[in-house]
Structure formats: structure tokens, C-alpha cells
Amino acid sequence: MSSADLVPLAWNAAREHLDLFGSLGLGLGFAGGMMPRRSLILLTSAACSACFALHFLQLGAQTGTAMCLVSVMQSVVAARWIGPDFRAPWVAPLFLASSLIALGLTLATWNGWPSACAGLGSLLATLARLQASPQTMRRVFLGASSCWALHNTLVGSVFGLTCDLLTIAALVIALVRGGADRPSAVASPTTPLPGAA
């Protein structure tokens, strides 16, 4: 047997463990948690969710696939039509409708605890996307990522679990780095408030 014959054998042994979509999702999940602006967090999260929808589809985890597809839509809408000073009036009804669809998909694809974790993770992620403050959004995403970590442990997604752990680490780093939403508008005891004489 020559070394040229070993390459196909090695590829056949390894390809079941290689997942392009899981790998891309893993990188995007970590990057999303570290993004400096809300819109970048959401757009990176949308790309991550699209990758994981395909990854979960390959694993046969239908609830995870469905929740990821809802996540893509919500993330794109939240990045474009929700901001610190505005929110399109149709966004809240759309998010409510998509949450009801997510609930229906969770029930339709019910698989016990994995489905419960995916459904709760999706609900928390929906709440996170509705937040105007990046730090508040990160805090709620922390809860969502924890639920997804449980889901990915239960369905055997090594990429998903690794992504969740990296995302949780990135969110914690970004939360610590950003402080507890310490805006410069908070006046110190010696600083007069704007408009005070």
C-alpha cells in the first residue's frame, strides 16, 4: 500500500467528523460575541445561525434547524430596523409572530429535552435581539447560549457545544470590557447635571 492509497482512506475516516458549516458557525459565534457594535453582533449572529441551521440539518436535529432559521430572520430584522432611538412599528408584531412560529415548530419537532433547550434558547435570543443596548443584549444572549449549550450536548453537536462555550467566553469578555453599561451621561456627585445652574 502506497502513501497515495492512504489519502483516500484517511479522508473517508475523517470526513464524518469534518463539518464545514459547523466550523464556520463556530468561528462566527465567537466573532459575534466580540463585535463592538450592535448591528455587527446581529449580522454575525445571523451568519452563524445560517451555518448552524445547515449543521443541525445534517445531524437530524429538526428543532435546532428550525430555531436557527427563525434566528436568521430576527437577527437581520433587528440589525436593520431596531436601534437605540428607533424601532419600526411592525418589528414587535413580527417578533411575536416568529416566536409563536418557533413555539409551533418546537412542538412539531418535539424531541424531549433537546427541543425544550432549543425552544428556550430561541425565546431568550429573541428577547436579546429586541434590546437596544449592546450590553443588555449580550447579557440576554448569555442565557440563550447556555440553553443552546445544553441542546448541543444532548444532540451530540461538538461544533455547536464548542461554539456555545466560545460564544459564552466572548460575551463575558465583552461584558467585562464594556462594564455595566457605564454611559458617560451618568453624572458624578461633583459634576453638575446638564441644564443645572
Phi, psi of 87 (to 5 degrees): -155, 125
Decide: helix, strand or coil at residue 82: strand
In a domain, 174, yes or no: yes
In a domain, 172, yes or no: yes
In a domain, 104, yes or no: yes
In a domain, 140, yes or no: yes
In a domain, 195, yes or no: no
In a domain, 187, yes or no: no
Give me the domain span that covers residue 173. 22-178
In a domain, 142, yes or no: yes
C-alpha 55/C-alpha 4 separation (Å) is 31
pLDDT (tens digit per residue) in 123-160: 999 999 999 899 999 999 999 999 999 998 999 888 88
Residue 84 confidence (pLDDT): 80
Number of domains making up the chain:
1
In a domain, 136, yes or no: yes
- Global pTM exceeds 0.75: yes
Residue 14 confidence (pLDDT): 53
Residue 83 confidence (pLDDT): 84
pLDDT (tens digit per residue) in 81-120: 998 888 999 999 999 999 999 899 889 889 899 999 998 9
Q: Helices H, strands E: what count in the chain?
A: 8, 0
